[in-house]
Chain A
């Protein structure tokens, strides 16, 4: 559920097909830089109603999913 929602947010932002994304997809391979990751995190905060901390360890879709799930537990 978290994974699907996050893929939807990413797909909308960069205008790609959400079904092409997996937990292993690296942001760098999507042309997403650290500024975009920070903006993505802000969009995700709005969607889930949570507050997240951005750090440089966020490199892939899976990293983002783990971070959100840790806050939802």
Chain B
């Protein structure tokens, strides 16, 4: 079995459209949440989102590419290009040794809405032939593979809000077991539209707050739902020897992955948190580390149930007393919940926390909750020498994923 390392990162997020500005935003507690600007939110109870700002695809993608892709594919390709340039892997690997494991929670939701409107207004003949290839959730993976001539395994995982953690975890296993020398992996999402906000809102998952500093407040007693974010996160996973041979910059090693399912309810987490705790324990296996030197980037959505249940899962995985020594934060307090892109950008946050020795904060944290009583790194980034970083993701359907990274 091969060791697997990270040699490139790329991100488009509500707090910055590249990895450097994303990380600077995290360290400085930048809030990406605001009133929705994409459409008139006045008829909606839920008015907040964490939108990507000033996204200009033309700096990396040509006009024809942009025209033929939904926004979620544009985010994906844009971030993939940053990650590939960062890794220096292009032209240093055979296409057949390069894979793509890339997903989206929903896919081309905006395209779905606009083409459905065309269908209702004009009938069959008004539906674009590009509707399906723009909308299907695996097409970002396909588009990345086309761009880089990656003819190795190309898989699109969809596990709702755990999508990109599952993608990275499965990519890790594929490289570890020799199915590819390197894999471009992660996820993207662009689902901030009226239909989506209506659906997520009516499912009682979104925060109705109208104060941008009180909307995405994970682990805080005032939390009342998540704020939808969007964007993309991309990691280049590479076989260690391959990376060494070409003198690649190495951020960290992927050293664990846990994948379980609650098998309990379509949307609610199992309150006993056994399966989510097991995902964390599986990722931890073989990585015995002083708990005070571990950072856990929590799923921490800001819903009543998630944060309470996740706290319980962490306590079960580490033991009640040890769990209190962990450094934990939810960067969703800054980025909102990027759905299928969340796991990948949070993996990037975890890897950079490990590399830079800084724990990004949980911002807008004011009122402690007795059911969420761990160290969530409130409001200010903290310097800490970290040896192991974990990133958890949980999705509708009961999907639980946890990734582990360590220094190399």
Given contacts A35-B130, A35-B133, A42 and B64 within 8 Å (CB-CB):
no
Chain A interface bracket (under 10, 10 to 19, 20 to 34, 35 or more)? 10 to 19
* Interface residue from A31, A38, A39, A51 paired with B64 (Cβ < 8 Å): A31
Residues of B within 8 A of A34 (CB): 129
Residues of A within 8 A of B67 (CB): 13-15
Interface size on B, residues (CB 8 A): 10
Interface status of B147 (Cβ within 8 A of chain A)? no
A14–B63 touching, CB < 8 Å:
yes
Cα A36 to Cα B130 in complex, Å, equals 8
A15–B63 touching, CB < 8 Å:
yes
B130–A39 touching, CB < 8 Å:
yes
A42–B128 touching, CB < 8 Å:
yes
Secondary structure type dominating chain B contacts? helix
Residues of A within 8 A of B130 (CB): 35-36, 39
Closest Cβ of chain A to B134, distance in Å, is: 10
B129–A45 touching, CB < 8 Å:
no
Cα A39 to Cα B133 in complex, Å, equals 13
Residues of B within 8 A of A31 (CB): 64
Interface status of B125 (Cβ within 8 A of chain A)? yes
The tally of CB-CB contacts under 8 A between chains A and B is 24
A42–B133 touching, CB < 8 Å:
no
With both beta carbons as reference points, the residue of chain B lying nearest to A38 in the complex is identified as B129
Residues of A within 8 A of B64 (CB): 14-15, 31
Interface string of A10-25 (1 = CB under 8 A from B): 0001110000000000
Residues of B within 8 A of A39 (CB): 128-130
B63–A35 touching, CB < 8 Å:
no
Residues of A within 8 A of B60 (CB): none
Interface status of B383 (Cβ within 8 A of chain A)? no
Residues of A within 8 A of B133 (CB): 35
Could you tell me which residues of chain B, from 123 to 139, have a CB within 8 Å of some CB in chain A? 125-126, 128-130, 133
* Interface residue from A13, A36, A42 paired with B125 (Cβ < 8 Å): A42
Binding site for A on B (CB under 8 A): 63-64, 67-68, 125-126, 128-130, 133
The 6 closest A-B pairs by CB, nearest first: A38-B129, A35-B129, A15-B63, A35-B130, A39-B128, A39-B129
Binding site for B on A (CB under 8 A): 13-15, 31, 34-36, 38-39, 42, 45, 51
Given A34-B129, A39-B129, A51-B125; 13 other pairs, CB 8 A cutoff: A13-B67, A14-B63, A14-B67, A15-B63, A15-B67, A35-B68, A35-B129, A35-B130, A39-B130, A42-B125, A42-B126, A42-B128, A45-B125
